Structure formats: structure tokens, C-alpha cells
Chains A and B, each alone.
Chain A
Amino acid sequence: MPDIFEFGFMVRALIVGGLVGVVCPILGTFLVLRRLSLIADTLAHVALAGAAIGLMLHQSPLLVALPVSAAASLLLEWLRSSQRLSGDASLALVLYSALAVAVIVLSLSVGLGAGVLGYLFGNIVTATRVDVWAIAVLSLGALLLVGLLYTELVQSTFDPVLARVSGVPVGRVNLVLALLTSVTVTLSMRVVGALLVGALIVFPTLAALQAGRGFRLTLLIGAFLGALSVLVGLTVSFYQDIAPGGAIVLTAIAILAAATLGRRAVVYVGARTATASRSKPSTPSAGGGALSRGG
């Protein structure tokens, strides 16, 4: 059996994939809690159209996809905040417009199909040096920006009106989050593909939320589970010779299932313990158990 680390392309894939795996759930936490999970799917299709245009123009697909998806994210934020369209209608508008552009670009250009498939289904092992550097720099930049705007992002996610009354510049924070999402989605498209990028944003986040911890810890757990999903998925895909994107997302689903079952088990055991405590009134800690459980 070959050693995965003997291959430079796999080492690059693991590093870049791990970075994307960390960034996706961190952004995903804010998106899921704002009920904007499907924005990732929409922006991924926009990024796919951008990548197709890049391939047609013989430019770096990733570097063309980035400004295209950034512009779409700003359009979505404007439609949402100005309430010109309902949230799902604006997502549908942008998604199908982008798909139409992608289809037309593909029909105009002969021989683009194979290249576009790499972005549709993801293929990190074919990442170029430009891709690797772009993903590394932009992932670290996104993490830095989330760190700098941590309170603003959390407060405007908790409740935008309450945040505005506290003096948080919610409009500008939302624009930054939209741009960060477009960048993250575009980078992730190279790893898991446009069709599955939403899964890498949402599944580790949902798994982390099962832990029932505070916001910082939820972000950390999500980042760990996202990176774990990518690293395990890539390793499995290498040894089993299966599509990396699918392997990564199936790993994330397995982790989510384990986290959900784990939480249910904890709740069940907690309820059984509380019932047992109540049936023994002489137990001194019986009254305080419920209050301290979440601490």
C-alpha cells in the first residue's frame, strides 16, 4: 500500500483541504444561525459559472470565479437587506442565472467539459500552484477577518436589530460576511466541488452545535470537525480510489450522525440520572443538578 505522504500532490491537497475544512464551518456557524445555509449553494453555482468563464478565457478559473461570486454575494445581500425579494426567491434568482451563464459558456466552448467537471465535483489533487497559494492566503485572511470582527459578527447574528441599537454597524458587518462567504465557497469548490460545497459549510457546523457549548467553543469544534472531514475523506479517497468530494462529504455526514446520536445519548442519560435523583429526596445535589448541567 503506497504512503499518502510520498506524493507531493496529496500533501498539497491535505494542507489546502485542511485549511478550507477549518474556514468553512467557521463561516457556516454564522450562516446556519442566520438561516442562510443555502446561500453557499447559490454562490457555489455562481463560482462555477465564473470558473467556466475563466477556462474559456484561458485564465485561472479560481481567480475569475472569486470576483464573480463576490459580486453575486453583494447582490444577494442588497436584495436581502432592502427586502426587494424574499430570501429564497433572491437565492433562486441568482442561482439559476448563474447556471444559465455556465451552460451557455460550456456550449460556446469546445473541450471545456473536463475542466469544468473538476469544479462541479471537486478535484483538489489537480490543484495548481496558483490554486494552492490563493487558497492558503485567502483562507488565512478569512480567519483573520473573522477574528477581528468576532463580536460584531456574533452580535449581528444573535439579533440584527438588537445589535444596531448597541451601536454595531450591522450593514457593513453583513457585507463583510457576504464577501467572506463568497471567497470561502469559491475556494471550497476546488476541494469538494460546487455541488457539495454547501455540505462542508453546513454539516460540521450542525455537528458542532450538538455539543451545546458557548460560541467560541462551537467555532473551534466546527473547525476541528471540518478539517477532520476533509483529511479523513481525502485519505479514504486516496486509498479507495473514489471521488474526494464525495468521500469528504460522506465523512462529514458520518460525523454529524455520530454527534447527533452522542447528544441524544447524553440527554437520555441525563434524564435518567435526574429521574433517579428525584426518586431519592435525601440526595443533597438533587435540586442543583438541572441548573449546573449546562455549565
Chain B
Amino acid sequence: MSVARESAPPALTFDDVSYAYGLTPAVDHVSFSVERGEFVALIGPNGSGKTTLIKLALGLERPQSGRVLLLGQAVERFTQWRRVGYVPQFVNAFSVRFPATVSEVVSHGLYRGLDPLALFRRSLSPGVERGLEQAGISELRNRLVSELSGGQQRRVLIARALVSGAELLVLDEPTTGLDQPGQEQLYALLRRLRGERGITILLVTHDLGVVLHEASRVACVNQRLFAYVPTQELTPSDLSKTYGTTVDLVVHQHE
């Protein structure tokens, strides 16, 4: 299913990365690489450093030791942000009546730097149309984002992340607050994107069921990296060490 590009460097590499908030360690000597075309699920209990790892991956925080490589480049010198799509867990605008249409928000993903004429450009460019189609929200293009359901808002953020042709998609607990159909639609979209575009996905989640059915590899973190294995090789022992409690793993085979 994955489209590995052998000559290309990994989409993301953590090389002996550590980070602490004051005296409290959040990430402790973590090393792993996300290869191109993979769907990696990052799991761990609350406060285990998952979101900190995402911040380090995106250059929002600097590691106190070790290094992070994004698409083969040191993240602190990385400038090709159009190659990376990010879907955060929470967006400021969704808690206020933000007056932007879906196409306006999706067009933000095409940001290329200072554009003095941006105020006069139409939001609905062909690129934005493609992003809306890929995310399956073309019919919402003129709706205000603040009027959409949680699932629709996540799709808008995914369209925004995809519109620039992102090779790596980073999602931080994207199903928070979504009902079951909303979650299923979201994962169906990710499956389709991976199949059609070979996009690399790094997903933070608490949902072990999703991990087992959707991800190709699993990274188990709790400050340290306890396992980084193909999903089918994930063991109850890996989960027990990560969560610090006994975990039973029952895999249901769906028809």
C-alpha cells in the first residue's frame, strides 16, 4: 500500500532527541525515523510527550539535545513548509465566530511568503478547488468554517494541509470530539490519500483500535521510546511497558 521512495531521505527523523519543560523531562533520548509513504501512529498515555514530539518535528520547539530532520533537512533550517501539512488538535478560530469561508481557510495552505496583493486575490483558485475535492468538501466551499460540524472542520484543516502538495501529513489527535461516522470518514480519507498520493502520515492518537487497523507502524512513547515496530508486530508487552499497566490486545478481523 505504501509508496516508498528509496532514494529519498526519511520524511522525519528523531536522532537521540531530548526535551524538558523546566526540570520536567518530556522527551528522553528518542530516536526513530518515519519512512516515506508510511502511516505511523504515535501512541502513549496522557503527558507522555506525544504532542511535544510533534512540536519538535515541526520546529515549534528546539530539542535540548539531539537533532530532528524534516524531509532530510535539519528542522531549524527547514523552509519548505509547503511540503508539510499539519492538522492540530485545537484551532483558535473554531472557538470564536471566525469570519472565514472554507475556501479562504484552505487557500491559507498555499502561503508562499509576503504577497502585497493577497488582499485582492480570489480564494477559490484551481489549487484550492483540488484540495477541496480531495478532502471531499467541495460543496462546503462558501460556508463559514465556524458554522461547520467538528468532522467538517477537521476536513477543512486536512484540505488546507494538502492544498500545497504536502508529502508529510502530521495529525494531532484528529478524531477528538468526532462521533463514530465522523471518525470513519476521516480515516477513509487518510486511507485514500495514502493510496492515491503515497503521502506519509504521522498520527497522534489514543485509539488503539485505529492504530491496529490503519497504521503501518506504531511508535510507543512515554518520555522514552518503548517500541517502534510494524503494527502487526506490536505486542501487549509493548503496550504494558508504555502505559505502565497490563493491556490486553484483541484484534478483531473485519470482513
| Interface positions of A (Cβ within 8 A of B) | 29, 32-35, 147-152, 154-155, 157-168, 208-209, 211-218, 291-292, 294-295
**Distance of A167 Cα from B101 Cα, bound (Å):** 21
For this complex, 23 residue pairs linking A to B, each with C-beta atoms less than 8 Å apart, are: A35-B96, A147-B116, A148-B116, A151-B118, A158-B93, A159-B88, A160-B92, A162-B157, A164-B58, A164-B60, A165-B59, A166-B109, A167-B113, A209-B97, A212-B97, A214-B104, A214-B123, A215-B100, A215-B104, A291-B143, A294-B101, A294-B144, A295-B142
**Distance of A165 Cα from B119 Cα, bound (Å):** 21
Please determine whether A155 and B108 come into contact, CB atoms closer than 8 angstroms: yes
Please determine whether B113 and A158 come into contact, CB atoms closer than 8 angstroms: no
A216/B119 contact (C-beta < 8 A), A159-B93, A167-B113 known: yes
What is the minimal beta-carbon distance from A223 to any residue of chain B, in angstroms? 13
A158/B92 contact (C-beta < 8 A), A166-B108, A294-B143, A295-B143 known: yes
Please determine whether A166 and B81 come into contact, CB atoms closer than 8 angstroms: yes
**Distance of A166 Cα from B108 Cα, bound (Å):** 8
Contacting residues, chain B, for A212 (C-beta < 8 A) = 97, 99, 144, 147
Please determine whether B96 and A33 come into contact, CB atoms closer than 8 angstroms: yes
- Having A157-B98, A158-B98, A164-B60, one finds 14 other A-B pairs with CB under 8 Å, namely A33-B93, A151-B108, A151-B111, A155-B108, A155-B111, A159-B93, A164-B58, A165-B60, A165-B81, A166-B109, A167-B79, A214-B144, A216-B119, A294-B101
Please determine whether B100 and A154 come into contact, CB atoms closer than 8 angstroms: yes
- Chain B 105-128 interface residues, beta-carbon cutoff 8 Å to A: 105, 108-109, 111, 113-116, 118-119, 123
Please determine whether B100 and A214 come into contact, CB atoms closer than 8 angstroms: yes
Contacting residues, chain B, for A35 (C-beta < 8 A) = 96
Among candidates B88, B99, B108, residue contacting A161 with C-beta atoms closer than 8 Å: B88
**Distance of A33 Cα from B58 Cα, bound (Å):** 25
A214/B101 contact (C-beta < 8 A), A167-B79, A167-B81, A294-B143 known: yes
Residue of A nearest to B93 (CB): A158
Please determine whether B99 and A162 come into contact, CB atoms closer than 8 angstroms: no
B189 beta carbon closer than 8 Å to chain A = no
Please determine whether A162 and B81 come into contact, CB atoms closer than 8 angstroms: no
B91 beta carbon closer than 8 Å to chain A = yes
List the 7 closest pairs (A to B, CB-CB), nearest first.
A295-B142, A218-B99, A167-B81, A150-B119, A151-B118, A294-B143, A165-B86
What is the minimal beta-carbon distance from A68 to any residue of chain B, in angstroms? 30
B234 beta carbon closer than 8 Å to chain A = no
**Distance of A149 Cα from B59 Cα, bound (Å):** 23
Residue of B nearest to A32 (CB): B96
Contacting residues, chain B, for A294 (C-beta < 8 A) = 101, 142-144, 147
Please determine whether B100 and A158 come into contact, CB atoms closer than 8 angstroms: yes
Residue of A nearest to B90 (CB): A159
Most chain A beta carbons < 10 A, residue from B92, B118, B142? B92
What is the minimal beta-carbon distance from A100 to any residue of chain B, in angstroms? 33
- In the complex, per-residue mask of B143-154: 1 if CB is within 8 Å of any chain A CB, else 0: 110010000000
**Distance of A22 Cα from B119 Cα, bound (Å):** 17
**Distance of A152 Cα from B88 Cα, bound (Å):** 19
Contacting residues, chain A, for B141 (C-beta < 8 A) = 295
Residue of B nearest to A151 (CB): B118
Residue of A nearest to B109 (CB): A166
Please determine whether A154 and B108 come into contact, CB atoms closer than 8 angstroms: yes
B229 beta carbon closer than 8 Å to chain A = no
What is the minimal beta-carbon distance from B60 to any residue of chain A, in angstroms? 6
Please determine whether A213 and B93 come into contact, CB atoms closer than 8 angstroms: no
Please determine whether A158 and B119 come into contact, CB atoms closer than 8 angstroms: no
What is the minimal beta-carbon distance from B101 to any residue of chain A, in angstroms? 5
Please determine whether B144 and A147 come into contact, CB atoms closer than 8 angstroms: no
What is the minimal beta-carbon distance from B55 to any residue of chain A, in angstroms? 8
Contacting residues, chain B, for A32 (C-beta < 8 A) = 96
Contacting residues, chain A, for B79 (C-beta < 8 A) = 167
Contacting residues, chain A, for B96 (C-beta < 8 A) = 32-33, 35
What is the minimal beta-carbon distance from A35 to any residue of chain B, in angstroms? 7
**Distance of A168 Cα from B123 Cα, bound (Å):** 18
Please determine whether A158 and B91 come into contact, CB atoms closer than 8 angstroms: yes
Residue of A nearest to B118 (CB): A151
Residue of A nearest to B55 (CB): A161
What is the minimal beta-carbon distance from A263 to any residue of chain B, in angstroms? 11
